[in-house]
Amino acid sequence: MTTGDLKFFHVLVMITHRLWRVAILISLICILMYVFYSGIAACVLLLVSLSLSLYYAEDQLVYHPTLPTHSRVFVPRPSGYNLPFESVRCPSKDGTVLHMFFIRQPINGDTTPTLVFFHGNAGNMGHRLQNTAGLYHNLCVNILMVEYRGYGLSDGSPSESGLCMDARTAVDYLLTRTDIDVNHIIIFGRSLGGAVAIDLVSRQEYANKIWCMIVENTFTSIPEMAKHLLGWRILNVVPHLFYKNKFMSIKKVRHIGVPSLFICGQADGFVPPIMGESLYAYCNATHKKLARVAGGGHNDTWTCRGYHDILKTFLQETPPRNKLPITTSIHHV
C-alpha cells in the first residue's frame, strides 16, 4: 500500500467516524440501488455521495476546536501568567457572540501598539498564553486574543466566512476603545490564523485601519495544503469549486499594501516553508520582510533563539501609518 493509499484510508476512516450516520445511510441506499436498478447507478450514486460527504466533512478536517479534550468548556486565563486582562464578550456582525481576552500594558497602554492575535485551527486561545506572554513582555504591546466562533467559549460553529467576519469584528471592537492607540494596530496570525489575518488586511476598508501585519507558518491556500498533505494526484484537477473552505491567501496577499512580516520556521513539517515564501513574494507591500527561522517547527517557532528580536526589529523599522514605506529585506536566523 502506497503513502497516498494510506492517507486516503486515514481520511476515509476519519470521515466515517465523524459522520457515521450519514455513512450508514449512503451504504444502505447504494445497496438498494444495486439490488433494484444496476451496479452502474449504485456506483454513480456512491461517487456523488462521497463527493458531497467530503465537501461537508471538510469543516471536520480543517477545524479542530475540541482538540485537546475540554477545549470548548475550559479556557486557561491570562492571570495564570500574571497578565492583567479583561474577559470580553462581543457580538460578531451576524450576532454570534465571541469571547476575547484584552491584555493591556499597565504603563503607557494608551500609547503603545496593540497586537490582535489570531491562533491556529486547534484548541482555544488560552492554549497560546505562554506564547502571548512572550509577545507581551518582549514587544511591550497590548494584546487582543480572539476566540473564533465555535472555539473555546465563543458561540456558533467555525466556517471560512465566519472566521473572517470574526476578525473584522475584533478590529471594530478595538476601534471603540479610548484607552489604546488606534493608529498602531498590529495584525498577527499563525497557521490558519495567518489566513484569517491575510483576508482581513487584504480588504481595503480594513487595511486603512491597520498599521502592519505579521503572519507565521501560514499556507497559500487550502487546496494547496490538501495536495501537500494527502498527495492524491487527482487533486491536481479538482476545481476549487469543490472545496468548501478555500482560504485563497496566495490571491488575497496581492492586495496587501501595509507593512508585512512573513515568518517561516524552516523545520515546519506541516506547512512547507516555501508557502510562506510564496506569500512574501506575491505580497504587494513596499515595506515587507521575510524571516527564515532555523529549527522552527510549525507550533514552536516562537521558542527559537532570536524570534522576538525579529519582531522587534520589524516594528522599529515600520514607518508610521500613512507614511510611504521604504525598505524590503530578508532575515536569516
Q: Which residues are catalytic?
A: 191, 268, 298
d(CA 142, CA 156): 27
Q: Which three cell numbers stand for residue 5?
A: 493509499
* Other CB atoms within 10 Å distance of the CB of residue 15: 20
* Interstrand relation of 142-146 and 185-190 (parallel, antiparallel or unpaired): unpaired
d(CA 262, CA 331): 10
The length of the chain, given as a count of residues: 333
Helix axes 192-202, 160-174, angle to 10 degrees: 60
Contact 267, 299 (CB under 8 A): no
* Other CB atoms within 10 Å distance of the CB of residue 9: 11
d(CA 317, CA 287): 9
